[in-house]
Amino acid sequence: MSRLWGALLLRRLWVPVAWGRAAAGGARARGSTAAPDGIEGPAVRRSYWRHLRRLVRGPPEPPFLHVCQVGDPVLRGVAAPVEREQLGGPELQRLAQQLVQVMRRQHCVGLSAPQLGVPRQVLALELTQALCQKTPPRQRALRQMEPFPLRVFVNPSLRVLDSRLVTFPEGCESVAGFLACVPRFQAVEISGLNPNGEQVVWQASGWAARIIQHEMDHLQGCLFIDKMDSRTFTNICWMEVND
C-alpha cells in the first residue's frame, strides 16, 4: 500500500532465474510487453551516460529497489506460491529484506512482492509510531489507526472476521500520486508462513485490516483503483497545479 492516506530503447525479456517460472507460466516480458489493449506509453529516453551504464551493467533485475507502477504487467498477474524448498533460502530472505527496505524508504505501510517485480506470494506490513503521528489524532481515531510491528507473510490466506464495510481514502505506491475512497472489511485474519517457513497468524481490525486487504489484493493482480469509488479519485497535487 500505500501511504497513510489509505511501488533506453533497449528492451529485454525477463526470465526469473531464482524464482523459477513466473506465475503466468514460463518467461514473462517486462517493459517490452504491450498493455492489454495495445496501449503503450512514450518511448523511454535516457542520457548518454545512463545509456552507457545500462549497456555495461545490464538492466536491473527483480526484486527491484523501486516500486513498479501501474501499467507494468507484473501488477496484473496472479502471484504464484513460494515453493516449499525456497522457504528459509537465500532468495526468499533477500526478497523479504528488499521488501522491508523499500517499504521503509518509501515511508509506506505495506508492500507486496509483485510491486518489486517478483510475481510471488510474499508481502510485508508495518505501521510505526512515527508514521501514525503524521496523521491528526481525530483521523487516527476515526480510522482506528494503531501502530503494529513488522510482519512478513509468505503464501498468505485471508479470512473475513467482520464483514461490515468501512470506507476511507487510501493510496498505493504503484499508483503514485493518487488517492481514492475504498471500502474494506472491518476485521480480517491473515495466516501464512514467515520467511523461515514458520506458521504465523494475525487477527486485525481497523486500519491494519485495511492494509492487509490492500496488500492481499496485490497478490491477485488487483489494485485499489479496481475497488475505489471513482468519483473520489484524486491527484494529491491538484491544488499545487492551480497555484
Give dist(CA 208, CA 144) in Å, integer.
8
Q: What are the structural domain ranges in the chain? A: 66-242
Q: 134 and 192 in contact (C-beta within 8 Å)?
A: no
Can you give the pTM of this predicted structure?
Answer: 0.82
Q: Catalytic site residue 215?
A: yes
pLDDT, tens digit (0-9, with 9 covering 90-100), for 151-167: 999 999 999 999 999 99
Phi/psi region, residue 226 (left: phi>0; alpha: psi -120 to 50; beta: rest), is alpha
pLDDT, tens digit (0-9, with 9 covering 90-100), for 188-236: 999 999 999 999 999 999 999 999 999 999 999 999 999 999 999 999 9
* DSSP three-state, residue 233: coil
The residue from 126, 173, 215, 240 that is catalytic is 215
> In this structure, which CATH number among 3.40.47.10, 1.20.58.220, 3.90.45.10, 3.40.50.300 belongs to the domain 66-242?
3.90.45.10
Where do the H-state alpha helices sit in the chain? 48-57, 90-105, 129-133, 137-142, 206-218, 238-242
* DSSP three-state, residue 79: coil
pLDDT, tens digit (0-9, with 9 covering 90-100), for 47-75: 777 778 778 888 889 999 999 999 999 99
Give dist(CA 38, CA 35) in Å, integer.
5
Q: 82 and 154 in contact (C-beta within 8 Å)?
A: yes
Q: 139 and 147 in contact (C-beta within 8 Å)?
A: no
Could you give the percent of the chain with pLDDT greater than 90?
75
For the chain, count helices (H), then strands (E): 6, 8
